[in-house]
Structure 1
Amino acid sequence: MKRVIDEMNKEELYAFFKTDLFNKIHEMIEEKKLSLENAILVLKHIGHCKVLKHIWNNHFKESSLDKRFEKMIIEEEKKKEEKNEKLLIDLCECYLLLNRWASEELLSTGVSCLLKVALNKEENEEAQKEVEIVLLALSGFGYGEVEQELFINEIKEVIQYHQKHHNLTRLACQSSWQFLINGLPYYKSFEGVIVDELHFLREAERELEELMKSVNRKREKEAEKEEKETKKELVLLRWLNTLERYFLYCTMWNEEFVGLLNSIVRVFLAAKDNNREVSLQCIHLLKEIADNRVVKIEDLLKGGAVDVVLEEFQRPTLNDEITSGFLECFDIISSGLYKTEDEKEEEEKVKEEERKEMKMKMFEKMEEEGYEDIITSLNKLLDFLSYEYYYYSFSSDIADYFVNV
Structure 2
Amino acid sequence: MQKTTNIDSTKKFTELFSRLSSNSADKQKRTIEEINEMIIEMNEKDSNLIFTKELFDKMDKMIEEKEICLENAFVLLKSIGCWNVLKNVHDYSFRGSSLNQRFKKMIIEEELKKEEKNEKLLVDLFECFILLNFCFPLNSLSICVPCLLKSSSNKEENKEAQTEVEVALLALSGAGYCKLDKELFLDEIKEIIEYHQEHHNLTRIAYQSAWMFLIKRIIFENSLEEIIVNELHFAREARRELEELSKCVDGKRKEGWKGGKETKEELLLMKWIETLLVYFRHCKLWNEDFADLINSLVQVFRIAKDNHREISGECINVLEEAARNRSVTVDDLLRSGAVDVFLEEIHKSTMNDRITIKSLEFIYNISNRLKKEDDERKEAKRKITKRNIYEKMEEEGYEDTIFCFKRMLYFLCMNYEHRMACNVSYYFVNV
Which position in structure 2 is the counterpart of 1:362? Answer: 389
| Gap runs ≥5 in structure 1 | none
Cα gap change, 1:296 to 1:145, in 2 (>3 Å): closer
Question: How far has the Cα of 1:61 moved from its partner?
Answer: 2.0
2:157 corresponds to 1:123: yes
Contact 2:298–2:315, Cα closer than 8 Å, also in 1: yes
Contact 1:93–1:110, Cα closer than 8 Å, also in 2: no
2:76 corresponds to 1:42: yes
Letter in 2 for 1:390: Y
Which position in structure 1 is the counterpart of 2:17? Answer: none
What TM-score do you get using the length of structure 1 for normalisation? Answer: 0.92
Once the two structures are superposed, the pairs formed by residues 203-222 of structure 1 within 5 Å of their partners are 203-220=237-254
Cα deviation, 1:142-162, whole Å, max 9, x if unaligned, reads 344532443100000000000
Q: Residues of 1 paired with 2:137 and 2:37: CA distance?
A: 32
Letter in 1 for 2:38: V
2:312 corresponds to 1:279: yes
Cα deviation, 1:53-90, whole Å, max 9, x if unaligned, reads 11223322211111111221222233344643322221
What TM-score do you get using the length of structure 2 for normalisation? Answer: 0.86
Cα gap change, 1:223 to 1:317, in 2 (>3 Å): closer
Correspondent of 1:141 among 175, 185, 205: 175
Cα RMSD over matched residues?
2.1
Which position in structure 2 is the counterpart of 1:64? Answer: 98
Q: Residues of 2 paired with 1:398 and 1:96: CA distance?
A: 44
Letter in 2 for 1:403: V
Q: Residues of 1 paired with 2:122 and 2:376: CA distance?
A: 55
Q: Residues of 2 paired with 1:185 and 1:223: CA distance?
A: 35
Percent identity of paired positions between Structure 1 and Structure 2: 53
Which position in structure 2 is the counterpart of 1:30? Answer: 64
2:325 corresponds to 1:292: yes
Give the paired residue count.
397
Structure 1 window deviating more from structure 2 (211-220 vs 165-174): it is 211-220
Correspondent of 1:154 among 188, 194, 210: 188
Correspondent of 1:5 among 30, 35, 39: 39
Structure 1 window deviating more from structure 2 (50-59 vs 374-383): it is 374-383
Question: How far has the Cα of 1:394 moved from its partner?
Answer: 3.0
Q: Residues of 2 paired with 1:223 and 1:309: CA distance?
A: 22
Q: Residues of 1 paired with 2:125 and 2:224: CA distance?
A: 29
Which position in structure 2 is the counterpart of 1:14? Answer: 48
Contact 1:261–1:300, Cα closer than 8 Å, also in 2: yes
Cα deviation, 1:143-195, whole Å, max 9, x if unaligned, reads 44532443100000000000000011110000000111111011111011101
Correspondent of 1:398 among 424, 427, 431: 424
Q: Residues of 2 paired with 1:93 and 1:233: CA distance?
A: 24
Contact 2:166–2:205, Cα closer than 8 Å, also in 1: yes
Q: Residues of 2 paired with 1:289 and 1:328: CA distance?
A: 11
Q: Residues of 2 paired with 1:375 and 1:139: CA distance?
A: 42
Which position in structure 2 is the counterpart of 1:167? Answer: 201
Structure 1 window deviating more from structure 2 (263-272 vs 377-386): it is 377-386
Structure 1 window deviating more from structure 2 (127-136 vs 243-252): it is 243-252
Q: Residues of 2 paired with 1:296 and 1:145: CA distance?
A: 30
Correspondent of 2:339 among 306, 317, 328: 306
Question: How far has the Cα of 1:376 moved from its partner?
Answer: 2.3
Correspondent of 2:279 among 246, 249, 252: 246
Correspondent of 2:369 among 336, 354, 374: 336
Correspondent of 2:380 among 353, 358, 367: 353
Question: How far has the Cα of 1:350 moved from its partner?
Answer: 5.8
